[in-house]
């Protein structure tokens, strides 16, 4: 049996979470340390570092690492990394010392950190390099611009699982667990399908294409914070499970979740998605149209092109797939590469369009989504009050 793809930049996974007596001792010590409150994004990064999803990092980046990642997509020691992993604070008194990191929502101590450097950054420079914009309408830009005055760099010891196993049960899997799952299945080629949405028929089509060349597909949903209007993870998971049970060959597709917030960084986030999927044991990442994008900030296939620019920096490779849709003349789900017909013959599918139709209780066109999935989603939208619904901006989508 062929081996799984190795972790990124390291022979083995590098989880930073402590266990047993070491965990108990560190938690007790952490109570007396200066406290740094983590944002939602930083909290997800801590948990990802804890489970080895960010192998080979040993903590939050120093200024030299930050600068190198922004400018060259490598850390200061030459390890490929596309997006800065940083921690910030407004605390003027923090110096080179040991601190405790605290979840802003629960006040739980989630890690300790030895601060090796306290530094300032040019936030606009980071936004320009990573997000290709400084506009505050971009949620990733907001994350950066609302960071504290200082960044703190240094190694961490993770003391929490973030509550993910308790909240999500078997849906939440660590890189160690997914690798064990793949080995038990006898899989060596696995494609990850990134999603923050329930899957419609276009997504189903992309997964089936991946199954033509891979042993299996892992539908990998973000369990972190999303933007307003996105569908909660619990509802999304139920809809995906229904799709897997009814429309994929048994034992070829499964779903799991990971603890990060979306950054909506388009091409650079596509690279990060491939990088940490390598740590999860995936040999491929499905990269479709406008992967991890938002609005019109990125070209539809910028995420395809950026993989060509980095050469062999990642072992996990992209499965570059074109925009898929229902064609009335072909009478099937197809793609730009195959279908010869015009836009007037096509039902263009998107997660944002589906959310809009459901939130407004409008008819969903036939061939857009499976009936079983729509039943689950309509039940969710019926359960939320009209004044809680968020308008979904539609750009560049059409329907018939």
Quick: pLDDT tens for 45-84.
999 999 999 999 999 999 999 999 999 999 999 999 999 9
Provide the pLDDT for residue 68: 98
Name the pLDDT band for 383 (thresholds 50, 70, 90).
confident
Distance CA 100, CA 36 (A): 6
Provide the pLDDT for residue 229: 74
Tokens 């997660």 identify what position? 351
Lowest mean pLDDT among 26-30, 153-157, 315-319, 335-339: 335-339
Residues of the chain above pLDDT 90, percent: 82
Structure-model confidence comparison of residues 347 and 183, the more confident one: 183
Set out the domains of the chain in order of their start, with CATH numbers.
20-164 (3.10.400.10), 170-258+322-388 (3.40.50.620)
Provide the pLDDT for residue 323: 84
Both structure tokens of 83: 């997006």
Provide the pLDDT for residue 398: 33
Q: Give the mean pLDDT of 113-123.
A: 98
Asked if 277 is an active-site residue, the reply is no
Q: Does 111 score more than 60 pLDDT?
A: yes
Annotated catalytic residue, options 41, 103, 179, 197: 197
In the chain, beta strands by DSSP E: 35-38, 59-60, 87-89, 98-103, 109-114, 117-119, 150-158, 190-195, 216-222, 253-258, 284-287, 317-320, 324-327, 332-335, 346-348
Provide the pLDDT for residue 136: 97
Provide the pLDDT for residue 231: 86
Reported pTM: 0.93
Provide the pLDDT for residue 350: 76
Work out whether the CA dihedral 28, 32, 34, 39 comes out positive or negative: positive
Structure-model confidence comparison of residues 232 and 245, the more confident one: 245
Annotated catalytic residue, options 41, 196, 289, 346: 196
Q: Give the mean pLDDT of 350-368.
A: 84
Q: Give the mean pLDDT of 295-321.
A: 96
Q: Give the mean pLDDT of 188-210.
A: 93
Q: Does 395 score more than 60 pLDDT?
A: no
Q: In this structure, are strands 216-222 and 332-335 parallel, antiparallel, or unpaired? A: unpaired
Asked if 370 is an active-site residue, the reply is no
Name the pLDDT band for 221 (thresholds 50, 70, 90).
very high
Q: Give the mean pLDDT of 261-267.
A: 95
Provide the pLDDT for residue 388: 53
């Amino acid at each position: 049996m062929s081996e799984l793809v190795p972790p990124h930049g390291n022979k083995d996974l590098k989880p930073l979470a402590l266990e047993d007596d070491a965990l108990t001792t560190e938690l007790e010590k952490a109570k007396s340390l200066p406290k740094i409150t983590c944002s939602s994004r930083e909290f997800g990064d801590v948990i990802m570092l804890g489970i080895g999803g960010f192998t080979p990092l040993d903590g939050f980046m120093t200024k030299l690492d930050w600068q190198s990642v922004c400018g060259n997509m490598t850390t200061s020691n030459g390890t490929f990394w596309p997006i800065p992993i940083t921690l910030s604070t407004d605390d003027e008194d923090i110096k080179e010392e040991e601190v405790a990191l605290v979840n802003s929502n629960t006040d739980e101590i989630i890690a300790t950190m030895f601060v090796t450097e306290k530094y300032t950054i040019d936030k606009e420079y980071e936004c320009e390099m990573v997000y290709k914009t400084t506009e505050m309408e971009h949620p990733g830009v907001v994350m950066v611009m609302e960071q504290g005055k200082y960044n703190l760099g240094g190694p961490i010891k993770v003391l929490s699982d973030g509550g993910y196993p308790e909240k999500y049960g078997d849906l939440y899997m660590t890189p160690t667990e997914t690798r064990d799952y793949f080995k038990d299945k006898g899989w060596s080629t696995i494609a990850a399908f990134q999603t923050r949405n329930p899957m419609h028929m276009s997504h189903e089509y992309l997964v089936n294409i991946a199954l033509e060349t891979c042993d299996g597909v892992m539908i990998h949903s973000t369990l972190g914070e999303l933007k307003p209007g996105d569908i909660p993870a619990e509802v999304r998971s139920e809809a995906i499970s229904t799709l897997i049970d009814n429309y994929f060959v048994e034992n070829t597709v499964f779903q799991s979740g990971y603890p990060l917030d979306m950054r909506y960084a388009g091409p650079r986030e596509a690279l990060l998605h491939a990088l940490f999927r390598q740590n999860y044991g995936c040999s491929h990442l499905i990269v479709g149209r406008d992967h991890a994008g938002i609005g019109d900030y990125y070209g539809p296939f910028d995420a395809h092109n950026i993989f060509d620019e980095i050469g062999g920096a990642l072992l996990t490779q992209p499965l570059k797939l074109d925009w898929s849709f229902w064609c009335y003349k072909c009478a099937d789900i197809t793609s730009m590469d195959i279908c010869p017909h015009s836009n007037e013959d096509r039902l263009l599918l998107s997660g944002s369009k589906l959310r809009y139709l459901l939130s407004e209780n409008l008819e969903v066109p036939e061939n857009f989504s499976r009936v079983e999935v729509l039943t689950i989603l309509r039940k969710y939208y019926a359960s939320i009050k009209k004044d809680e619904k968020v308008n979904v901006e539609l750009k560049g989508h059409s329907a018939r």
